[in-house]
Amino acid sequence: MTSPFHESVTTRLNHAIDPALHIWGWEITVYLFLGGLVAGLFILSALLELQRGKPSTSSGMRSVPILALVLLSLGMGTLFLDLDYKAHVFRFYMAFRPSSPMSWGAWILLLVYPAGLLLWLGNLPAALQLPVLARPIAAAQRWRRRLLWLSVVMGVGLGLYTGLLLGTLSARIQWNSAVLGPLFLTSGISTGAALLLLLPLHADERKTLIRWDMVAIATELLLLALLLIGYVTGSSAARMAGAVFLGGAWTASFWSLVVVLGLCVPLAMGLLEVRKHLPLIALTPVLVLIGGLSLRAILLASGQETGFRLLP
């Protein structure tokens, strides 16, 4: 601003656009959260199996592909709810737009289903191995190793996409950071791990996952720090965008829900568990899940409002 005295009046008052942009609500929050979670589930379950060289026998791990698909469907359901022209949903699949993360996402989502099904088929409990499924099961088992690598790649793609979807929108200054992709991916992995830890697993699986989860949480903290550093060291636009977390309207909820409850406390509890061999309590994963959901909710709500209109 050229002067401390600046009055600006606009006649525009479009619904959901003014006075502050608010086009995406809980539907997209849930979708982004579940998308990341599912990405985490795929990556972690695949890596675990690749590390051990054989399929898990725990009921929890065996159900992961189906659980992931159910959660993904829920997420796509909320995404669908958000569409304002639901009858045109099929148009997502009549085009592929390489410049549009939304388009990438739509197609990735579609690939996840067969992959998940095949993963599930490849490690079915004996009771479910019906004769009619014999051929697909055989195929799934034959291709299992490649499928596992595919699910890692797909999971990374899906996790990154949920962040890049927002991060590539340069008009929303707060979102417009390349950190958002890895941040959402890491958060997806950590929430995925948290969800897995709530399932009946073998003790060694649990132990590995707790360690991986801590690495993910630590990485997420680092990425959040990078995001904030990006804001405070950036242009006036970036500083304006970051200000909501650093004294602005979202400061309290961001630091308490996301940073402290969602990341720092679980990290500390995880360290205690590992070091002191304390028995696992369900609270840690629940906090991680809450933190992951809050991260999406807060970034989605606050980031929408950070447009160029706030700049002179």
Please give the residue ranges that form the binding site for another protein (CB under 8 A). Answer: 1-18, 21, 23-24, 82-89, 91-92, 94-95, 97, 99-103, 105-106, 165-166, 168-172, 237, 304, 307-309, 311
Which helix (H) or strand (E) is 114 found in, with range?
helix 101-122
Q: CA dist 235 to 48, 95, 147, Å? A: 42, 36, 44
What residue type is 214 in one-letter code?
Answer: M
- CB of residue 94 vs another protein: minimum separation in angstroms? 6
Question: CB neighbours (10 Å) of residue 199?
Answer: 18
For residue 272, give every residue at least 6 positions away whose Cβ sits within 8 Å of its Cβ, in sequence order, or none.
278
Q: Which is nearer to another protein, 152 or 179 (CB)?
A: 179
- CB of residue 91 vs another protein: minimum separation in angstroms? 4
- CB of residue 104 vs another protein: minimum separation in angstroms? 8
- CB of residue 217 vs another protein: minimum separation in angstroms? 29
What gap in Å lies between CA 26 and CA 24, rounded to an integer? 7
Q: Which is nearer to another protein, 103 or 219 (CB)?
A: 103
For residue 120, give every residue at least 6 positions away whose Cβ sits within 8 Å of its Cβ, in sequence order, or none.
62, 65, 66, 69
What residue type is 288 in one-letter code?
Answer: V
- CB of residue 244 vs another protein: minimum separation in angstroms? 17
Q: Which is nearer to another protein, 52 or 97 (CB)?
A: 97
Q: Which is nearer to another protein, 133 or 171 (CB)?
A: 171
Q: Which is nearer to another protein, 87 or 127 (CB)?
A: 87
